Amino acid sequence: MGLKAGKRRRLLDDTPTCKTLGVFIGEVEVEGVCVTTNPIHALFCQQPCVIYDWEIHEEWERWVTVAYTDDKGHRRTRRELRRGWEMVAGKTYWQGFYLKDDYGYVWVHPAGAQLDRQLLFDEYTERGTALYAMGPRAEISDSTGRRRFKETGLAVDTSLFVRGRASERPDIVAPQIVQDERAEMFLISTRSEKAISQGKATAYFVWHVLGLMAGIFSGLAFGLGKASSTGDNVPLYALCGGLIYGLAWLIGWIWMVFNSLIGLRNRVRQAQSLIDVQVKRRADLIPPLTACLQGLRQHESEVQVAVTQLRSQAGLLSGITAVSSTVIAVAEQYPVLMANQSFQSLSKNIKETEDRIALARNYANDITTFYNTRLTRIPDCYVAQLVQMTPEPLFMAKGFEQKVIPVGF
């Protein structure tokens, strides 16, 4: 458990948090607010939610027969009054939602994720109240007449941190974060990345302290058993138990650090390749859009000329009022011209493409910096030297830019 907590802390710390527009295929971390067009309305607090659970518990009080052993070793029984709670109703609702930030949206489905829910509603009530009547009509046996109504979930517009593996949506060309067998960790939390990382670090420390104590006490117990027959030194066995655990921890730590560095290096190389992917997207996308808009512009010009000619001809036919009115009506019904919308669409695509490239560059530099820092940080640097890992170069704009794509009309 300790090594697992340490591994997850490293995964969190070694993955840069990106924007929704910069979510690419692979391991990602994103922050934003959850939104949906079809929220689930909570039953008791009436808040709109993207994930929702409700439960009703009822208190009972009953006499039970308990067996025990008295001072003389005789088995006896006695009656005790006990209290407890029993769940009498409840339901869970799941649905996908969008994670929104300043750059856009990314689809997230929480099924299979490690999820931190919010407490939305928690109230105790007595028999005879309106809230009590919202539960089941029939009471459990030995009921005290008290019920607890509890709701948990994620309310709409809640700030979330999502860590998982991004893939391409099957319905449209866009990324999604869903359960994936290849994902190293799938987490949806209302806490910040820093708070989650600190929690993993604390768990790593506590588990290893408990492990060390278990090793010492195991050695101590073994020594006491040997000492009764051989008279061996008991503290020596306790020390050996602690040393054995320390050696096992060291081997596990080296294994954890090595695997985390290898995983981080692979993500660095993937991030660098994503820059080329986005530049290739720009080269494939912008020229066809420009050509299409040029054709539309020429078509609109021809339509304007044709309309002008029809109006002129209609003026020459002023003596024939019936024909003149018909020609004018036809001339006025020319197609709706969409040049402004088309130019806006092209401008939006160009801006989004350049933003994608910029985000890919920033992501590559961030994760490369994380990797290079790991290689020089004590004690990780000793493991890196054993396997001869070397720093990766940061992205440099000089010499990178491909041929400028002309956009003109």
110-139 tens-digit pLDDT: 999 999 999 999 999 999 999 999 999 999
Strand runs (DSSP E) across 127-246, as ranges?
143-155, 159-168, 175-177, 187-189
Residue 337's pLDDT band, with cuts at 50, 70 and 90, is very low
Which H or E run includes 343? helix 339-376
Q: Which residue has the tokens 């290689």?
A: 375
- Rounded to the nearest 10 degrees, the angle between the axes of helix 2-14 and helix 193-230 is 160
Distance CA 52, CA 120 (A): 9
- The residue ranges of every structural domain in the chain are 25-191, 268-386
Residue whose C-alpha is closest to residue 60's, from 83, 81, 80, 79: 83
Q: Tell me the range of 107-111, 345-349, 359-363 where mean pLDDT is highest.
A: 107-111
User: What pTM, to 2 d.p., does this model score?
Assistant: 0.68
List Cβ neighbours of 202 (8 Å cut-off, separation of 6 or more): none
What mean pLDDT is predicted for residues 60-65?
92
Contact between 28 and 178 under an 8 Å Cβ cutoff? The reply is: no
